Structure 1
Amino acid sequence: MDTNAVLDVAFDALVLAAKLSAPVLVSALVVGFIVSLVQSVTQIQEITLSFVPKALAAGIALLVSGHWMISETVAFTHDMFERIPSLVGG
């Protein structure tokens, strides 16, 4: 197993991690921005007001994109298992 193969596997894993985390992070970011904007306009500084909507948005994002996340993970795992013979030199 050479350095290029290790870097290729690591790059693919990092890209997959970024793709899988994007829906949850983007939805929490958008909701957090909107809540922050509302808090600054109304001058209501309640901690639960910023946490609960972001948690709900992250949960909804997981429900909506969960099937896609699992299918991407399974496809990546199948790809890694198919690469095993070439990675060990066989």
Structure 2
Amino acid sequence: MKHVSVEELVSLIDTTLCEVSGTGSLSSPVLPDSQMGEPAEWDSLAFIAVFTAVAQKYQVDLADDDAFHFTSVPTMHAFLNEVL
């Protein structure tokens, strides 16, 4: 059973959002309590990239029904630590 640290998850989301937005930095930092819209680059299109990046990084098979867990760092973190 693997434990996902919140710092590791925040870093992955930050990197993914920077890649998707094509910028070197975001409008605000991704924090342990961030949710969609915080930063502004975490929009509905970037959501898909975050969902995919997390699935690939942690080698977890995610279903569409799991998507609601991916709207904030805390819910994503809790979900990952439950399924891994």
**TM-score, reference length from structure 1:** 0.31
If asked which structure has higher relative contact order (CA below 8 Å, sep 6+), I would say: 1
Q: Which has the larger radius of gyration?
A: 1
In terms of fraction of residues, the more helix-rich structure is 1
